[in-house]
């Protein structure tokens, strides 16, 4: 369980770090770019997306910090690690998508790192059903019932 747990925490914290860099990029680019004579940050819809991004980054950081503390004391369960990785990955996916939207066409190129972050988080989210499997592991711990069963018909 130790290797799996460490990997799950590492994945979660990696997303937070990547999106903090993206946030800093977004802040600079959106202040510099102008539309209708005003910086892109002056528009309500852009501000709402920026706030959602920052909220996600802060929440990912708080959850990652808590999981690290539980891990350090030996109190973290595999269900908690799976729940943390699943939730952080989901929020990271949303954060990358918001950044991509804010940058428009530049959001899909790797020059601004947002496009790269989007591809990175998407691969972690969907790799071999990672998000789905993590939610099933967490649900098994919560309910005491495993819904992960091999197919009886191969």
Which of 27, 48, 101, 128 is labelled catalytic? Answer: 128
Q: Beta 34-35 vs 38-39: how paired, if at all?
A: antiparallel
Identify any residues that bridge with 34 across adjacent strands, giving them in sequence order. 39
pLDDT in tens, 82-115: 999 899 989 988 988 998 888 888 777 777 778 8
In whole numbers, what is the pLDDT of the chain averaged over residues? 82
- What is the mean pLDDT, run by run of 10 residues, along the chain of 154 residues? 55 56 73 88 92 91 91 92 91 89 80 79 79 91 85 56
* 34 exposure class (CB count in 10 Å sphere: 0-12, 13-18, 19+): exposed
Q: What is the largest CA-CA distance in the chain?
A: 64
- Burial zone of 16 (CB within 10 Å; 0-12 exposed, 13-18 middle, 19+ buried): buried
User: What are residue 39's DSSP bridge partners?
Assistant: 34
- Whether 122 is catalytic: no
Specify the pTM.
0.79
Which residue in 45, 4, 27 sits closest to 113, CA to CA? 27
What pLDDT does 12 receive?
A: 54
pLDDT at 99: 87
In CATH terms, the superfamily for domain 2-32+41-143 is: Butyryl-CoA Dehydrogenase, subunit A, domain 3 (1.20.140.10)
Asked whether the beta carbons of 73 and 66 are under 8 A apart, the reply is no
What per-residue confidence (pLDDT) applies to 63?
92
């Amino acid at each position: 369980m130790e290797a799996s747990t460490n990997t799950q925490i590492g994945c979660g914290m990696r997303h937070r770090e990547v999106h903090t860099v993206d946030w800093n990029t977004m802040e600079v680019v959106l202040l510099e770019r102008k539309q209708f004579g005003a910086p892109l940050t002056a528009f309500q819809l852009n501000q709402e997306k920026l706030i959602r991004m920052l909220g996600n980054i802060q929440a990912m950081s708080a959850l990652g910090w808590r999981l690290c503390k539980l891990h350090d004391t030996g109190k973290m369960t595999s269900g908690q690690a799976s729940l943390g990785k699943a939730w952080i990955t989901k929020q990271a996916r949303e954060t990358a998508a918001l950044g991509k939207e804010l940058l428009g066409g530049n959001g899909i190129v790797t020059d601004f790192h947002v496009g790269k972050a989007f591809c990175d988080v998407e691969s972690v989210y969907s790799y071999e059903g990672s998000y789905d499997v993590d939610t099933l592991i967490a649900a098994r711990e919560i309910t005491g019932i495993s819904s992960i069963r091999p197919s009886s018909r191969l």
